[in-house]
Amino acid sequence: MKIDAFHYVQLGTAYRGLQPVPDEEVIDLYGGTQHIPLYQMSGFYGKGPSIKQFMDIFSLPEMALLSCVVDHFLGHGLEFDQAHLYKDVTDAIRDVHVKGLMYQWIERDMEKYILRGDETFAVLSRLVDHGKQLFLITNSPFSFVDKGMRHMVGPDWRQLFDVVIVQADKPSFFTDRRKPFRKLDEKGSLHWDRITRLEKGKIYRQGNLFDFLRLTEWRGPRVLYFGDHLYSDLADLMLRHGWRTGAIIPELEREIRIINTEQYMHSLTWQQALTGLLERMQTYQDAESQQVLAAWMKERQELRYITKALFNAQFGSIFRTFHNPTYFSRRLVRFSDLYMASLSCLLNYRVDFTFYPRRTPLQHEAPLWMDQLCTGCMKTPFLGDMAHIR
């Protein structure tokens, strides 16, 4: 199911297996409300006592596998314990990753699974040319990183980075002081010597952030760190160490493309207009007015579902429910200073470009009709006429 920033389930997005759960049943399951109690919600790293937040690339196969297996069991009348099923599926997904099977499959067909990174190389080389110091911290093993980066960036990719750390074991890399850095040779063999400095061109395994900070002296807002996982990559760095963070959200490219379509803009504008009309005209209690209000309410609800389906028929946008940000969106803005679809988006800006924070209106600062908010919506002819409807 999809949950908004205030822990409310978006009705129409709850599924048992591959079948939608009726809104009435969802409300009944949570004691007559759509609200998920705080004690059930996921904790700091997205895992709570009874709810897990799916929010990264590995979530896609895990959700699909869970849904299909549950659907199979229910469709064939097989009894099962949900906790056992969840654990088995989660363990299977983890083992494919941890045991290296995924790396082997990808390495066999780089052309299929990894895009050539001309734009990635352009971003990295541009930063280096402007005197920036780059570092790479990844949970992947060196053999996989080396083959992938050679495919994406070229054989001299290591010359772009001042520090390269593999099998870092994030997010514990950011919090556990006990694991020291170890040097790897070209064959992947570990060295025994104590690490007193991090050298360019060398490969290091594991380690921890506290030793990293001590050896590099890269601290606080002078560092901008990019990652594609809010918890494993960004949360600790922003909250504990004051680094600037950038989130890579590939789905953003498609979502932006959709919100720039005429269908989406017309649908949203009309929704906002209907919302404003309902808010203004609800004081009229006569039968004819009530009939008009009911028709507007129905049309508004239909438009909301149409808009949702533009993004995804089952769940809609990953950033919004009907009107609130999603729980994911809330965590995204909490743990990232910037977010973008790809690192290559930086090519649209100068290296010394400053992103200034935007002042967003609070509820008491916003006008009655949100569509009047600096969007030019009131310049739309039919909305200008509607503004005078009584």
- Residue 42's alpha-carbon distances to 12, 170, 174, 241, in angstroms, are 21, 19, 20, 23
**SS3 of 64, please?**
helix
Cα 315 from Cα 130, distance rounded (Å): 43
The answer to whether 190 and 205 have CB atoms below 8 angstroms apart is: yes
Instruction: Please name which of 355, 357, 136, 336 lies closest in space to residue 239, comparing C-alpha atoms.
Output: 336
Cα 388 from Cα 277, distance rounded (Å): 10
The structure tokens listed for 147 are 């083959």
The answer to whether 368 and 279 have CB atoms below 8 angstroms apart is: yes
Looking only at the bridges linking them, the beta strands covering 181-184 and 203-206 are antiparallel
Cα 382 from Cα 384, distance rounded (Å): 5
**SS3 of 163, please?**
strand
The structure tokens listed for 263 are 């269908």
The answer to whether 184 and 166 have CB atoms below 8 angstroms apart is: yes
Instruction: Please name which of 15, 16, 37, 33 lies closest in space to residue 24, comparing C-alpha atoms.
Output: 33
Instruction: Please name which of 38, 30, 53 lies closest in space to residue 329, comparing C-alpha atoms.
Output: 53
Residue 97 CB neighbour total at 10 angstroms: 13
Q: Is 4 marked within a binding site?
A: no
Binding residues: 228
Binding residues for Mg(2+): 228
